[in-house]
Amino acid sequence: MNNEGKTILSYQLFFLLIQTQIGVSIVSLPHDVFNTAKGDGWISVLLTGVVVQCIIFMYMFIIKRFPTYSWKQVCEALFGKVIGKFIVLLYILYFICLASMTLAKYALLLSAWMMPRTPSWVLLLLMLIIVLYIVTAKLEAIAQFYVLTSVILLVYIGFNIYAWKEANLTFILPIGQSGVPHILEGIIKVFPSFSGIELLLILHIFVHAEKREILKVATISNVCLTIFYTFITLTSLVFLSPKELKLVPEPVLYLVKSFSFKIIERPDLIFTSIWIVLVATTLTMFIYATKYLSLHMYKKGKSQFVTIFLLVVCYIIAIPLRKVYILQTVSEYFQYAIIAFMVVLPLIFFLITFIFSKKEVEQ
Amino acid sequence: MPYDELQETLAENKQTLEKVFQHTEDLQVQMMTLQEKKALVCSLKTMADDQKIVQQLTTMEAGISLKEMSEKVTNIQDMVEAILLGNTVVLVEGKQEGIVLQTAQEHERSPDEPENERVVQGAHNGFIENLDVNIHLIRRRLKQEDLHVTYKTVGKETENNVAIVYLKGKANEETIQYIEDQLEVMQQKKVRVIGELVNYLLRHVKTIFPKKLYTERPDRTTAYLTEGKIAILMDNSAIACIVPISFFAFFQSPDDFNEQIYDGTLFRFIRLASFIGALIFPATYIAIITYHFEIIPFEMITLVKNSIETVPFPPFFEAFIMIVTIELIREAGIRLPSPIGQTIGIVGGIIIGEAVVTAGLVSNVVVIVIALTAIMSFTIASYEMGNTLRILSFPIMVAAALFGFVGIVASTLIILFHLCKVKVLNTPYFFPLAPFDFASIKRILFRIHRETMDVKKK
């Protein structure tokens, strides 16, 4: 695992980050944010982008201090062997949970929209087979693959532009109607959609570029992602009335469903099925991070077996989660875990590095 | 008797020879005078080339280095063998040995246009079974001192000459070294056709897609050589094998380069689109009929419904029957002489297709779908890529029958990732899409040439 070397190019990192971050929640994002911030949801998304940009700067500070250290080495350098290992273990658990949540949400959504009669454990199995095939390859191949699959995002943008034909701007006017507290609260709801940026901490050692370049790429990817999310949210907000939005948990799919063309009556069926590509790319990166961290922690173990083991664990966790109410309750709590691992823990890292001016030890 | 030494008198030798050959009538034994000595010239009329005999006898008569120029035989056995190979043996009065002249007839096919790689316009010659002629054809198009040819002998029982042809400086040195090392190993193995050789070279590449490109066209070969690829040719094989190759090479034809950019690009995209189409079209039909009937537009629903209502089978089985039928027709027709092949096509295509619909076994729609798929699969110039396509379409059909559109997306996702992953001799197979290289995409997919681009810059 260690000697995989710097195999990713900087533009590939861009797609790697974007594809990881855009995942299962893209179709439900407008609904989630509408529930708290109403018509100003898009401002919450924009603000989240700004917050995430600050997080990226924080990450880059840590990365610059430890340019060649792997994540485990950073943890151990800052907290000592025992606590460092414990923190890595926490991250492994976090990524497993993240993957399981994604899986559960995927199964739930797919059986609601496309395959009501197929048992959802079969759908989970299908996704895991895809992920298993992708994740056992080298990161280089995965990165190249993500560049290609990004074409799908153009389909999303295309459909959303089409929706502006029937936009009703009064739904979001007046801007700022829901008040600053609600808009800020919306940020918490948007945060899970940005999860995946923490992979930057792990992946940066594979990128064949200067650290300055990495910062640039991460920033560009964050700006693009924020614009993309804001656009998607805004489209749903102006297309669907507030009353509809309250009822529809997946506004993006609903929006596509309302179209019909001369040759395709239900474009949402195609739309939903290509959405699984986004799910697969997200999941793969989470599993990859877990696999990387666990192989790194226990130097032993075959990569194949570890991957299969991790996938089985995710499957077992995802099985009970795939009920609407259970998933809702769990994700309510889990969004704080995401904030903890995305913001709070790296913040502690940052403070320790900054205050004690820790640095990489030259070998 | 066969190991008898040659006698001094010509008459005795002649008698023995005629006895050994059972008085066959194509044995030529002529008495003549060579350098003022009586001599017997023996050869098989059907194996030896008359012109060569005359030419070499004239040389002998002129007395030029008679002793060094040819090998000698001293007993009947060797002499018979030499004659059977098409050589001519000259026995001279008073000597107990015969001089062997290399006069074997050689019949070569003329370098005609290959049957399976026709072009509309352009060069119409192709490789033949003679290695030297093939390399001559390449050299004639590529008059460069950088063109490097390395000969190797492979095969334990049937020794075959293999030539590795590449442009020095353009081709990857490590790859060449690897190929040469592997060919050394191949000396101990049985090699009958060039495919065995190349499959052994590329045995570490695990993929269902064709790993090497066979071509019978010298123009195509030279085009790849200038791109830095390596061509492997073998004696008695009329094909050049190009390695390392990328996926998109199978969708190119020399025709594209003769035409304007617009039509060349259009045809290339038609080929690529039909590859994708042939891959997922039957699966899409299965998915729509099994799961997503809603996707059919309102105006078409009655049409489709009427057509499939009476069919007793599930859509997967229905499509499967038709695909198997088409494969049978193809496989039956492919090696038959063309008049019979046409009959098969008519019986198979028209009669079976019509009857099977009239009988209500399969629907009209599925016949249209499968026939279109078959035509799409034939637009791909490469035979191997066509085979891969046929093999791959089955798992996608199964996935579509199980999961509908999601199954199709999932299986294409896996195939796409597989393409990203595969490397042939350390060269990415899906280049220029993975790794993404915009400049090469313009060149390979849109056929905008570097030269034309340079001109534009000026």
pTM, two decimals, is 0.86
Q: What is the mean pLDDT of residues B87-107?
A: 82
Residue carrying structure tokens 């669907």: A240
What pLDDT is recorded for position B138? Answer: 92
Q: Are residues B330 and B262 in the same domain?
A: yes
> What distance in Å separates residue B289's CA from the closest CA in chain A?
14
Q: Are residues B53 and B173 in the same domain?
A: no
Q: Does residue B321 sit within a domain?
A: yes
> Distance between CA atoms of B369 and A256, rounded to whole angstroms?
27
Kindly report, residue by residue over A173-186, the tens digit of the pLDDT: 878 788 888 888 88
Q: Do B404 and A114 touch (CB under 8 A)?
A: yes
What pLDDT is recorded for position A242? Answer: 87
Q: Which residues of A touch B421 (CB under 8 A)?
A: 137-138, 141, 145
What pLDDT is recorded for position A38? Answer: 81
Burial B31-47 (b: 16+ CB within 10 A, else e): eeebeeeebbbbbbeeb
* pLDDT tier, B456 (very low <50, low <70, confident <90, very high otherwise): very low
Q: Do B291 and A280 touch (CB under 8 A)?
A: no
Q: Which domain holds residue B123?
A: 115-245
Q: Does residue B442 sit within a domain?
A: no
> What distance in Å separates residue B404's CA from the closest CA in chain A?
9
Q: Are residues B226 and B271 in the same domain?
A: no
Q: Which residues of A touch B403 (CB under 8 A)?
A: 115, 118, 123, 126
> Distance between CA atoms of A52 and A344, rounded to whole angstroms?
13
Assign B341 to helix, strand or coil.
helix
Q: Choose one of B193, B212, B245: the last residue of a domain.
A: B245
SS3 content of chain A, % helix, strand, coil (to 5): 80, 0, 20
Q: Are residues B128 and B210 in the same domain?
A: yes
When the candidates are 1.20.1740.10, 2.60.120.1060, 1.10.3720.10, 3.30.56.10, the CATH number that belongs to A14-355 is 1.20.1740.10
Cβ-in-10-Å burial (0-12, 13-18, 19+) of B194 comes to: buried
Residue carrying structure tokens 């074409």: A151
With a threshold of 0.90, tell me whether the complex ipTM lies above it. Answer: yes
Question: Is residue A149 less than 8 Å (CB to CB) from chain B?
Answer: yes
* Structural contact between residues A183 and A44, judged by C-beta atoms closer than 8 angstroms: yes
Q: Are residues B145 and B231 in the same domain?
A: yes
Worst-scoring range by mean pLDDT, A31-35, A52-56, A282-286, B409-413? Answer: A31-35
Residue in B295, B413, B416 closest to A264 by CB: B295
Residue of chain B with shortest Cα separation from A134: B417
What pLDDT is recorded for position B450? Answer: 53
Kindly report, residue by residue over B110-145, the tens digit of the pLDDT: 888 887 788 888 888 889 888 888 999 999 988 888
Q: Which residues of A touch B408 (CB under 8 A)?
A: 273
Q: Does residue B456 sit within a domain?
A: no
* Structural contact between residues B231 and B166, judged by C-beta atoms closer than 8 angstroms: yes
Assign B213 to helix, strand or coil.
strand
Q: Do B295 and A263 touch (CB under 8 A)?
A: no
Chain B (416-435) residues lying within 8 Å, Cβ to Cβ, of chain A: 416-418, 420-421, 428, 430, 433-435
Q: Are residues B223 and B274 in the same domain?
A: no
Q: Does residue B252 sit within a domain?
A: no
> Distance between CA atoms of A78 and A350, rounded to whole angstroms?
10
Q: Are residues B214 and B276 in the same domain?
A: no
Q: Are residues B296 and B414 in the same domain?
A: yes
Question: Is residue A265 less than 8 Å (CB to CB) from chain B?
Answer: yes
What pLDDT is recorded for position B90? Answer: 86
Q: Does residue B450 sit within a domain?
A: no
Q: Which two tokens stand for residue B429?
A: 């197979």
- For residue B364, which amino acid is it? N
What pLDDT is recorded for position B446? Answer: 73
Assign B38 to helix, strand or coil.
strand
pLDDT greater than 90 at residue B277: yes
What pLDDT is recorded for position B23? Answer: 79
Q: Which residues of B touch A118 (CB under 8 A)?
A: 403
What pLDDT is recorded for position B458? Answer: 43
The mean predicted confidence, pLDDT, of chain A is 89
Residue in A114, A145, A269 closest to B417 by CB: A145
Q: What is the mean pLDDT of residues A30-41?
A: 86
Domains in chain A: boundaries: 14-355
**Domain count within chain B:** 3
Residue in B406, B413, B421 closest to A114 by CB: B406
Cβ-in-10-Å burial (0-12, 13-18, 19+) of A167 comes to: middle
Residue of chain A with shortest Cα separation from B421: A141
CA atoms within 13 A on the CB side of B57: 22
What pLDDT is recorded for position B63? Answer: 66
Q: Does residue B86 sit within a domain?
A: yes
Range list of H helices, A150-210: 151-163, 180-194, 199-203
Kindly report, residue by residue over A5-20, the tens digit of the pLDDT: 788 888 999 999 999 9
Kindly report, residue by residue over A90-123, the tens digit of the pLDDT: 999 999 999 999 999 999 999 888 888 889 899 9
Q: Does residue B410 sit within a domain?
A: yes
DSSP string across B107-122: -----PPPTTS--SSS
Q: Are residues B82 and B190 in the same domain?
A: no
* pLDDT tier, B280 (very low <50, low <70, confident <90, very high otherwise): very high
Q: Are residues B339 and B294 in the same domain?
A: yes
Give the other-Cβ count within 10 Å of A198's Cβ: 24
Q: Which residues of B touch A106 (CB under 8 A)?
A: none
What pLDDT is recorded for position A3? Answer: 46
Which of B288, B405, B415, B433 is the best mutation test for A, with the most CBs of A within 10 A? B405
Q: Are residues B22 and B96 in the same domain?
A: yes
Residue of chain A with shortest Cα separation from B423: A141
Q: Does residue B406 sit within a domain?
A: yes
Q: Which two tokens stand for residue B359?
A: 């009988």
What pLDDT is recorded for position A1? Answer: 40
Helix (H) or strand (E) holding B43: strand B37-44
- For residue B384, which amino acid is it? E
* Structural contact between residues A327 and A321, judged by C-beta atoms closer than 8 angstroms: yes
Q: Are residues B170 and B269 in the same domain?
A: no
Question: Is residue B344 less than 8 Å (CB to CB) from chain A?
Answer: no
